[in-house]
Structure 1
Amino acid sequence: PSQAVGALALESDGKIIVGPDLGGTPTSPMSIFRLNADGSIDSTFALRSGIKNFGNTRVDLIAFQQDGKVLIGGAFDVVNGYPRLGLARLLSDTDPLAPTSVVSRKTHGNAGTFEVPLPLTGPPGIECRTGGTSGNHQVIVTFPNPVIVDRALVTSGVGRVSNMTVNGNDVTVDLTGVTNAQTITLTLKQVTAGMSSADVSVSMGVLFGDTNADGFVDSADITQTKSQSGNPLTSSNFREDVNIDGFIDSADISLVKAQSGTAAPPATSPASTVTPTSSSNKWYTSRRKTTSVLRPR
């Protein structure tokens, strides 16, 4: 159906952002749209849960800031689940519940704390350092926004969650009973930011002694550990301190030698997944740089 236009804004690439003049009741939120140069709707640009008002909703103004953010003004009370009275600034991003980083963190004696980055795409990253006799590991998941998390659990692999804390954007999960030579998947249930909710899963390979993270413990790992023996720990060589005592020495070399011949099974789980759990929200999971899903700040 046809709809009156309340505001238009032309982008430098020839695309046009359109704000309807009337619509968007509390039970039927409205949105703004972007048209391609040929007049077709750009499906990569959308408000996740729309603009609402207790009366009729209207967009009177659309403006661009120098940093690329979009300002909208008009008659509305809520934008994407956030209270916004008549004015909102929209940020371009992909998914509000897609992690921005995942790491495995351990303290290496007096040398400090070091983190193994766990990639968000492709094969899962590999943790090569000891978990001790109890198989203890700590995973930190960071989100683009402050979140609320219902609970955490291991959904694939051997291990269990012993503790979880949420501090703003960061979710810290302590694991125990994690066995060697496996891929373990940790799922955060009912992660919520604003009106968006999803289950978020991240995977980590566990292979003690695999200092070069190639999925095998072999002569390459032994040679690498020997080459760093006696050197102070840095962000470049901490993986060789496999016993996390703060030193790279003969003890680490012996431990890697003892693991030679072990390998991680091929990973069957993706590095990370986001599964929406709220059917009332729109989700856009494209990771292309052209994607412009909007949220207010």
Structure 2
Amino acid sequence: MSQKQLKEAFISNLNGTSLLEISAGLSLPPLCLLCRGLLLILYYLHRGKPVSSRTYSLLLDFLVLVSPLVFACTVLSPIIFFIPVILAAFCAAIFSKIYSQTKREARAPLGQIVKEFQKACLDPECIPAITVFRVYVNVLTSISILAVDFPQYPRRYAKAETYGTGAMDLGVGAFIFGNALVCPEVRQKPHRTQPRFSSLARQVFSVWPLIALGVGRLLSVKSIEYHEHTSEYGVHWNFFFTLALVRLAASLLLAIFPKHKAWLVALAVAVLYQLLLS
């Protein structure tokens, strides 16, 4: 077989993996985030000040937030179900250390500290959970895109050819969902009234980076004769074009139908899509 045929065989006949394994992988980002927070608290208790060095902060973030995901998607994938247990045990050990230290030093009882924490208010204009979700979607997407062409990345995590669910299949939906959370229609103030198709007109001009990236990828793939998976997007289509089309289609639907009826439109689209798949 030629080199091109070997590469095509490497990305063909993929059926994905189980939802249980994907769920085990999805439990890692929250655990990594919890581990980072507990380590920062422990550092503050020992040093009396937060981490001030940008170098140490960046190193901590990479080791705790990114490295476990890289290893879980590559060399540690055979033991993916044990990684969340190990991280949870590590977090429990750090929490126990923090609890024992604060119990010795804190003047206020733990119940009072918890009540004061519950009364804390966040900025309503910025929801940290959405930011964290979008960051992790981008991190996992970057890891998968860079690793999928190497044998260390399990074939079951790649996109399924026809039916099935791979980790990268979930990434496609998560990417679109993350963009929908911060789209202009969602962030628009309730009391502001704008022309119905003004948002659609803005979206037409705002998707040009996606179209440019899609055209650039298309030209580069054709020019270097990179192996193409035609069952994935076809001959000339790619994910950047999909993002641009979904963004325009969503703005068009929201311009035609009332926003408070958007859930009905979403339900109808989901049912129609499932019928087409069946």
TM tier, smaller: under 0.3
Higher relative contact order (CA 8 A, sep 6+): 2
Q: Tell which structure's C-alpha radius of gyration is larger.
A: 1
Normalising by structure 2, we get a TM-score of 0.20
Normalising by structure 1, we get a TM-score of 0.19
